[in-house]
Structure 1
Amino acid sequence: MARNLMVSVLAAVAVAGAGLAAAAVPANLTAALGDQKRPPADSSRDVARKPAELLALGEVKPGQKVADFMMGGGYFTRILSPAVGPTGKVYAYQSSEFIKFRAAYGSEQSSVVADYKNVVPLTAPVAAAGLPEGLDLVLTVQNYHDLHLKAFPAETADTVNREIFKALKPGGIYLVVDHAAAPGSPLTVADTQHRIDEAIVKTEVEAAGFKLVTADDKLLGNPEDPHDKGVFDPSIRGHTDQFVLKFRKPK
Structure 2
Amino acid sequence: MKNLKTFTFTIVLCLMGTTYASAQYKSDDWKDRDKWQKVPQLLKAMNIRPGAKVADVGCHQGYMTMHLAKAVGKTGKVYGVDLNTYRLEALKEEATEQGYNNIVTIKGEENDPLLPKGQLDAIIMIDTYHHILEKPLKYLKKLKKALKPGGRLVIVESIRTYRKQLSRDEQKEKHNLDIGFVRYDFKKVGLIPADFKYPLTRWKNKKEVWVWFLAGVKPKEGSR
Q: Please give the range of the TM-score, normalised by the shorter of the 2 chains.
A: 0.7 to 0.9
Q: Does 1:196 align with 2:180?
A: no
Q: Which of 198, 214, 217 is matched with 1:245 structurally?
A: 214
The equivalent residue for 1:71 is 59
> Contact 1:180/1:195 (CA < 8 Å) preserved in 2?
yes
Letter of the structure 1 residue corresponding to residue 218 of structure 2? K
Q: Does 1:105 align with 2:87?
A: yes
Q: Which of 183, 188, 208 is matched with 2:164 structurally?
A: 183
The 5 Å alignment of 1:1-251 reads: 41-95=29-83, 99=84, 104-115=86-97, 116-133=100-117, 134-148=119-133, 154-155=134-135, 157-180=136-159, 182-220=163-201, 222=202, 239=206, 240-251=209-220
CA distance, structure 2, for counterparts of residue 213 and residue 47 of structure 1: 25
Letter of the structure 2 residue corresponding to residue 187 of structure 1? R
Identical aligned residues as a percent: 26
Greater RCO (Cα-Cα under 8 Å, separation 6 or more): 2
CA distance, structure 2, for counterparts of residue 173 and residue 118 of structure 1: 20
Gaps of 5+ in 1: 1-38, 149-153, 223-235
Q: Deviations over 1:13-69 (max 9, x none)?
A: xxxxxxxxxxxxxxxxxxxxxxxxxx5632232120011122122112100000001
Letter of the structure 2 residue corresponding to residue 141 of structure 1? I
Comparing 64-73 with 198-207, greater Cα deviation is found at: 198-207
State the TM-score, normalized to the length of structure 2. 0.76
Aligned residues: 187
CA distance, structure 2, for counterparts of residue 219 and residue 147 of structure 1: 22
State the TM-score, normalized to the length of structure 1. 0.68
Change (3 A) 1:218 1:186: closer
Q: Which one has the largest radius of gyration?
A: 1
CA distance, structure 2, for counterparts of residue 52 and residue 125 of structure 1: 29
Task: Provide the aligned C-alpha RMSD in A.
Answer: 2.0
Gaps of 5+ in 2: 1-26
> Contact 2:200/2:210 (CA < 8 Å) preserved in 1?
no
CA distance, structure 2, for counterparts of residue 142 and residue 113 of structure 1: 21
